[in-house]
Structure formats: structure tokens, C-alpha cells
Structure 1
Amino acid sequence: MELIKIETGNFMADGGAVFGVVPKVMWVKQYPCNNDNYCNLSMRCLLVKTGDRIVLIDTGAGDKQSEKFFSYQHLNGDDSLCKSFDDTGVSLDQVTDVVLTHLHFDHCGGVVSKDQDGVLSLTFPNATCWVAESQWENFHQPNVREGSVYFKENIVPVLESGKLKLVKEDMELCPGIKLRLFNGHTLGQIIPFISNNGKTIVYMADFIPLKASIPEAWVSAYDTNPMVSMSEKRMFLQEACENDYIMFFEHDLYNECCCLEMNDKGIVAGESFKLRELTSIFATTTQRP
């Protein structure tokens, strides 16, 4: 098994939204913000090569939304989905599966591309695209908070191509990759669990988007059901601590991975580290510095 991080650029979000009811005086010690209270967040995806499958988890924001919309997101950084793929030695048409954790724009926008004439096409033409059935239903009938981050052009072309597959419940995508559903942030968020050589790395998506978000009560204001988020987090942290899971963060610009530790305060984050440090665990692990 080979793991490759795919950086697709960064965006900025209000710190109060990122950390919900946690006072700024507390969260700013754990994650920086600028003078306008905005936190810079990565859109870090993960490519998994295992057996005859090449699986991409999430795709970043893409470039299809309007200039006005993207101006609100303060996109920044030099990375992009295609640029990162150029550095992997994997071509876009070699990807066999794309797992979209959910359909908010910053997670699925890159799965469909738009050319200079405005024509839409699949970025990964030979890939099956996996989305939770409950998330798909939520996409079609969103609540007032999520409606502004769902865009038909980000996923409908996948449906029309016949490449969309819906996940009804927890499942094994292929040996070594399990897809589990969580519902606090949004209905049917897929969280992939990737296992090899007795170790498991979990792609955290918006379930626990940052290392600073690990404490149970540190729930984002973006979560549609915060009480469910806290309950899911409580159970996951216990499981992760007992099994020594590695957490891979999609949105933490400063921390790629960490494990958990138990101390007199309960379950807390351990030291952070880079994905490339997992080479001995996941056979051959490749990524850019």
C-alpha cells in the first residue's frame, strides 16, 4: 500500500465558525488567525494505491464556482489538484475510485472540471465516485445552512456519466479501506479508515478537521447537529486511543497527522508528524516534502 498526500490549495474561514462556542482566547492558542479573525485552512486530500485500485479521497474546491463566491473563501497557496498529481507519477485517468466524504464545495469541487469554453467533464474519467446515500439526499434537499455550499455542477455530471455509486451503510471499499458514516457535521459524511500492517490511518475530513478540534466540546459552528458531533467524537476518540489510530487532517494547515494519548486530563492529541514518516508502517509511502 502506498499513501500520497494531495495538496489542492488553501482557503480561509472565520475562526468563530471553525471553533463554534469555544472562546477565541482559548482557541487562538491552538490555531492562529489573522487580524480579521480568519483561520487559514488546507484542502489536503489523500491518494491510496493498493492492489489494483488507486483511490482518491476528496478533491478540493476545484475552480468552477464564480469569482465572487471564491472571493468570500479567500483562496490562497500555490498548490492545486492537477499540479499535485503531476508530482505523483499517477495520471488522472488511472484513478479507479474517488471517495467524496461529503458534497460541500471544498471537498468535491475538483471531481468535475471546466474548460475555457465552460464545458464540464470528469476530472477522473475512469473512476467510480462514492457518496453516501443520505448525503446525496441531503444535497437535493439541503437545510438553509448547507444550501449555499452545495453546487449541482460539482456532482451532477458524475451522476449523468453513470459513475456515481451510493453508500448506504458502513462498507469495505476494497481490502484495507473501510468507509464509515458519521452524521454530526452533515448527514452521511464518509470517514475512510485505511489499514495496513496492523495500523490504521483515518482521513478525518470535517469530522475532526484540525488537531485543535480534538477536544470533545470543540465542535465547529458549521456542524448541522453539534450534539451528534460530540457523541460521535466521544466514541471515536475512545476507539482511536485504544487502537492507536493515526489521524490524517484535511484542513489543518500546520499539522498533517497525529495519534492520541491518555493522561490525567483524558484523551488528548499527541505530537504531530508528517505523512511521509509512516513509510515503515504503510510499506511504501510517497509524498512531496
Structure 2
Amino acid sequence: MKLHTIDTGFFKLDGGAMFGVVPKAIWNKTNPADDKNLCTWAMRCLLIEDGKRLILIDTGIGNKQDEKFFSHYYLHGNATMDSSLAAKGFHRDDITDVFLTHLHFDHVGGAVIRDGEKLLPAFKNATYWSNRQHWEWAVNPNDREKASFLKDNILPIQQSGRLKFVSAQDGVSFTDDIKIKFAYGHTDAMMLPLINYKGKQVLYMADLLPSAGHVPLPYVMAYDMFPMKTLDERKIYWNEAVEQQYILYMEHDPVNECCTLQQTEKGIRIKDLFKLEEM
């Protein structure tokens, strides 16, 4: 097995929304905001070579939405899905599986492309993976979250006949070396792949831990649907990460790819920061 970082560029989101009740005077030290109070965030996906399978976890924001939509998010950076795959010697048509942690636009937008008037799978040879509980949550969204669940990102996957569901049961196997863990605070039934790699356990954090600046327990995003549930889940996962010495792969940190955690006098904090290739 081999793991590859796949960068798809950066976008901006409001710093206050990203850190919830935490004062700007605190979070601005680790994630400085611009004059519009916006912070830069990565859209970092993960590519897994596993035997004959080439598994892509999440797809970034894509490029099929209109100018008005993208004007809210200030996309920047030179990396794209195609350029990052090419740098690793791959093409999007090589992908066998697209694993979607959840269906918010910055995670699933690149899963579908616009071809004239048609919306088609961006990875034409891949099977797309979600779970039925989260899928139903996304296609029948609540009023607060529906702006993140864009039908153009989601329904064409099902219409293509390439969608499959995994069981929404914690610890279910995706492959022999990939188990699926779940979190329910950010959105319903978000999936976190736990990957056995080089004798270590790599946990893909999706939006449970957006960045290294979010490690202190109260640093819960205002985007989370059930913040107290997120807080409880973070306690459980953080303790597990310390005990099991997990490597946490961060999707949105603009600088740091991976971290480990340790117990300190102030609670659980960052131990080490490093790139995936340094494992």
C-alpha cells in the first residue's frame, strides 16, 4: 500500500464560523484572518494505492459551479485534482473508488463534472462510496445545512449507477487495511477512514479536525449541526488518538498535513506536525 497527498487548491471561509465560540484574539494566532475576517483553508484529498485499487478520499470543491458561487470562497493556489494526480503518475480515469467522507460541497464538488448540459461522474471508471444514512440526510437537507448540499454535486452520482453504500456501523471494513469510523456532530454519519499503513494507523479527519489550530476541545466549528455531539466525539477520538498513537491526516489545514497528539497539563495538544511523505 502507498498513500499520496492530493492537493486541490485553497479556499477561504469566515474565521469566526470556523472557530465557533472561540474569540478571534485566540484563533487568529494560529489561523490569521484577512481584512474580511476570512481564513485560508486547504482542500487536501488522499490517494490510496491498495493492490489493484486506486482509492481517492474526497474530491475538493470542483469547478462546475457558477461565478457567483465561487465568488464567496476565493479559490486560489496552483494545485488541482488533475495536476496533483499527474504529479503522482496517475490520471482521474485510473481511479477505481471515490470514497466520500460526507457530501458538503468542498468535499464532493469535484466528484461531478459539467459536460455541456450534462452532469457526469468526474471519475468515469470509479465506484462512488457513501452510506445510506448520510445520503438520505444530504438529499433531504435541513434548512440550516442545505446550502452545503448542492444537488448538482450529489444526484448525478446516483443517476450514473456508480453509487454504492457502506454500512453505517462503526468499525466496518472497507478493505482489509481500511476500517471506517463515524462521527455525527458535524453532519449525520460522516465517515472517517482509519488506514493501516507502515505499521501505523492513519485516521483521515475530514471535518472533525479541520486543522491543527482546532485541537483544543472547545474549538468546534459553527458549521457543525450538533456542536455538543462534536465535543463528545472529539473527547473520544482525541483520547483514542493518544492511546493508539494515531497519525491524524488533516484535510483543511493550510500548512500541516499530519499530526500526532499527546496529553499535557492543558489537556490533549499537538505532539508532532509533519508531511505524509515523512512517515
TM range (shorter): over 0.9
Q: CA deviation at 1:266?
A: 2.2
Alignment of 1:164-175 (within 5 A): 164-169=163-168, 170=170, 171-175=172-176
- Uncovered stretches (5+) of structure 2, i.e. residues with no partner: none
TM normalised by structure 1 equals 0.93
Task: Indicate the residue corresponding to 1:197 in structure 2.
Answer: 198
**Is 1:44 matched up with 2:37?**
no
Matches of 2:112 and 2:139, distance apart in 1 = 18
Matches of 1:24 and 1:203, distance apart in 2 = 27
Q: Read off the aligned partner of 2:222 and give its amino acid letter.
A: A
Moved over 6 A (4+): none
Q: CA deviation at 1:106?
A: 0.4
Q: Read off the aligned partner of 1:92 and give its amino acid letter.
A: R
The higher relative CO (CA closer than 8 Å, separation ≥ 6) is in 1
Matches of 1:32 and 1:12, distance apart in 2 = 12
Q: CA deviation at 1:276?
A: 1.1
Q: CA deviation at 1:167?
A: 2.4
Matches of 2:88 and 2:154, distance apart in 1 = 25
Identity %: 45
Contact 1:184 1:228 survives alignment (8 Å): yes
Task: Indicate the residue corresponding to 1:55 in structure 2.
Answer: 55
- Uncovered stretches (5+) of structure 1, i.e. residues with no partner: 279-289
Task: Indicate the residue corresponding to 2:23 in structure 1.
Answer: 23
- Helix, strand or coil at the partner of 1:73: coil
Q: Read off the aligned partner of 1:228 and give its amino acid letter.
A: K
Query: Over residues 198-242 of structure 1, what are the superposed CA-to-partner deviations in whole Å (9 max), with x where a residue is unaligned?
Result: 211111111111111111111000000000000000000000000
Contact 1:20 1:219 survives alignment (8 Å): yes
Q: CA deviation at 1:96?
A: 1.3
Task: Indicate the residue corresponding to 1:110 in structure 2.
Answer: 110
- Helix, strand or coil at the partner of 1:61: coil
Matches of 2:86 and 2:199, distance apart in 1 = 31
Root mean square deviation, CA, Å: 1.1
Alignment of 1:203-214 (within 5 A): 203-214=204-215
- Helix, strand or coil at the partner of 1:54: strand
Task: Indicate the residue corresponding to 2:96 in structure 1.
Answer: 96
Task: Indicate the residue corresponding to 1:182 in structure 2.
Answer: 183
Once structures 1 and 2 are overlaid, which stretch shifts more, 234-243 or 140-149?
140-149
Matches of 2:3 and 2:45, distance apart in 1 = 11
Matches of 1:63 and 1:4, distance apart in 2 = 22
